[in-house]
Structure 1
Amino acid sequence: MKIDWAALGSVFGVSLVITVALVALFTLGVTGLSRRERAAAQGDSAVLAVTGAYVCFAACAAAVAYGISLIIA
């Protein structure tokens, strides 16, 4: 049995980058929703922040669905 270390390292690197990107995207979504709460407390509207938050959450859901489809296929 021979292990292809280059391929293993490549998979590890891509997995790490995708994981960090998804966490950052989800964090941006949570931040957008918290700005909505802050704006509502001040009596303002934060339509752009809420729209951005929903886009971030949709992108996270799409990435997870794509990963699951890769596992199933």
Structure 2
Amino acid sequence: MDIDWAALGQVFGVSLVVTVGIVGVFTLGIVGSSRKAETQPDGTVAATAAPSVPARIGAYVCYGLCAAAVAYGLYLIVA
């Protein structure tokens, strides 16, 4: 039995890059949809209002990209 080490390394590299990329995009979505903490003059910390519209749209795009990547992965497994 022969192991094609070049192909194994290529699969490892691609899966590592795609995994880090998807986690990064999902993190951007979380940051875009989260409320920001704001320190008040009396020293207390309060959450501000909801994120701006462009930030929410960017977050939804990031979530959509993650969902598309998962759907494509499932397609590759099933096909």
Identify whether the pair has TM-score above 0.5, normalized to the shorter chain. Answer: yes
TM-score (norm 2): 0.81
Structure 1, unmatched stretches of 5+, are: none
User: Separation in 1 of the partners of 2:23 and 2:75?
Assistant: 20
Count of residue pairs the alignment pairs up: 70
The RMSD of aligned alpha carbons is 1.9
Confirm whether residue 65 of structure 1 aligns to residue 71 of structure 2.
yes
Q: Which residue of 2 aligns with 1:18?
A: 18
- Percent identity over the alignment? 62
> Which structure dedicates a bigger proportion of its chain to helix?
1
Q: Is the 8 A contact 2:32 2:55 kept in 1?
A: yes
Runs of at least 4 residues of structure 1 off by over 4 A?
Answer: none
More strand as a share of residues: 2
Larger Rg: 2
